[in-house]
Amino acid sequence: MVQKIRIIDAKDHVDEEVKIGVWLTDKRSSGKISFLQLRDGSAFFQGVVVKSQVSEEVFETAKGLHQENSFYVTGVIHEDSRSHFGYEIEVSDIEVVCESEGYPITPKEHGVDFLLDNRHLWLRSKRPFAIMQIRNEMIRATYEFFNQEGFIKIDPPILTGSAPEGTTELFHIEYFDNDAYLSQSGQLYMEAGAQAFGKVFSFGPVFRAEKSKTRRHLTEFWMIEPEMAFTNQAESLEVQEKYIAYLVQSVIDNCEYPLHLLDRDIETLKKYTKLPYPRLSYDDAIKMLQAAGYETKWGDDFGAPEETYISDQFEQPVFVMNYPKAIKPFYMKPDPTRDDVYLCADLLAPEGYGEIIGGSERETDYETLKQQIQAAGLDEKEYEWYLDLRRYGSTPHSGFGLGFERAITWICHLDHLREAIPFPRMINRIYP
Ligand code: 4AD
Ligand code: MG
């Protein structure tokens, strides 16, 4: 019996006869030889069918294959120094599984709207393949990192009655006779988790009714939200930079082939594994922008151009620290040395990718937090449970949220977040 393998394991089967389930991505034939471009879900590679080596029937079958036909190939694995992947199969037999005629995504260039309409098929192409491999590695590395650091994973609810990040971007749903919302952040629940388990992290989908069409916003995206008891903001920043460097290093170590498919420069990525990352106060960021001719005033939030300008002044990701209270949510702890800023930071990615992390130290004092809830115009009743965390054994604690697709978009060097998630959801897209 010929062994069934996946081509990613080819190095263990050189010069052996194997069987692989594949799809055809492209083909070139002459009278004497057919070159089949194949994928088996684990890599893209070539199959060679030589007329003089196979039966008439096999050669004719090869010539008649269409793009995305599924079939089994049987043959001998050879090293192939001309392709980056490094292996090919010399085909001796073909067993067709399913026909495919008129596959819409041909090897020519297609517009992105067409590709998104066909996302269920587009996922088969090289570029989405490479991005999803890197996404998967970042998922793996995230679990590994936080487990090594002694965190446990806690899953916050997705159906919620409260709005930690402000009420404008909520998806409202009917919940029997009540109102509910899709979670925009699990943070408040992670704070409960931190007081129970010390160090916790979540990794799940969050939802924001983003009405703007930008390259940086999805309506459904994934967030990693660690939360740590007995931890101040400075200590939290150290965890953040260590985590980001770990993600980048894991992708460098384990995604050489996907990075090659995306043409991503590894030397650039290596710069992001050097710690510490620079820290810049919001005040100094404003001065930096004003010196460069921006009209930004103290108290303004940064838009994409400001974030890009700031990050362009650094070789690594940069923490912008201590933003004005008015532009950040109610749960943050004010700077004890001054009244107008919070102990918080956003991490801006290099190469113009903007904010990938938002985090802060949390307010721990019952009365102050209650006032901040009132001042934010929120319904105190809905935050009774959250205030309980300050009634019973409150501790200094800090946490952060990494926007997962933002991080992927930066590490893969993509133009738009929509390519960083298998099925993107945006204001004008909920199909397929
Ligand atoms: O800065 P944000 O709003 O922070 C929070 O939600 C905190 N509760 C996190 C925490 O401290 N536990 O969102 C966190 C990150 C942002 O830095 C950004 O990377 C990403 O989430 N993000 C989005 N990503 C994709 N599409 C959107 N619409 C996003 N909005 C925010
Ligand atoms: Mg933010």
Q: What is the pLDDT of residues 265-304, one digit of tens each?
A: 999 999 999 999 999 999 999 999 999 999 999 999 999 9
Task: Supply the angle between the helices 404-412 and 126-148 in degrees, to the nearest 10.
Answer: 120
Confidence check: pLDDT of 234 > 80: yes
Q: Which residues surround ligand 2, an ion (CB under 5 A)?
A: 358
The first and second tokens of residue 31, run together, are 């009278």
Name the band, by pLDDT with cuts 50, 70 and 90, for residue 119. Answer: very high
Distance 406 CA to ligand 2 centre (A): 12
Report the pLDDT value the prediction gives residue 182, as an integer from 0 to 100. 96
Residue 374 predicted with pLDDT over 90: yes
Rounded CA separation 138/408 (Å): 8
Q: In what side-by-side order are the strands of the sheet with 159-160?
A: 159-160, 178-182, 172-175
Share above pLDDT 90 across residues of the chain, in percent, rounded to a whole number: 94
109 has pLDDT over 90: yes
On average, the pLDDT of the chain sits at 96
- How far from 7 is each of 129, 252, 292, 319, 396, CA to CA, in Å? 15, 21, 53, 42, 51
- pLDDT score recorded for residue 165: 74
| pLDDT reading at 133 higher than 90 | yes
Closest ligand 1 atom to 164 CA: 8
Res. 162: pLDDT tops 90: no
The H-or-E segment that residue 364 falls in is none
38-74 pLDDT, tens digit per residue, is 999 999 999 999 999 999 999 999 999 999 999 999 9
Q: Using one digit for the tens of pLDDT, what is the confidence trace for 320-371?
A: 999 999 999 999 999 999 989 999 999 999 999 999 999 999 999 999 999 9
Distance CA 366, CA 372 (A): 10
Token match 């922008």: residue? 289
d(CA 318, CA 241): 9
Distance from the alpha carbon of residue 355 to the mean position of ligand 2, in angstroms:
7
Residue nearest to atom 2 of ligand 1 (CA): 358
pLDDT at residue 166 is higher than 90:
no
Tell me the ligand closest to 164's alpha carbon. Answer: 1
Per-residue pLDDT at 168? 78
The ligand 1 site (C-beta within 6 Å) comprises 164-165, 185, 187, 208, 210, 217-218, 221, 223, 225, 355-359, 399-401, 403, 405-406, 417
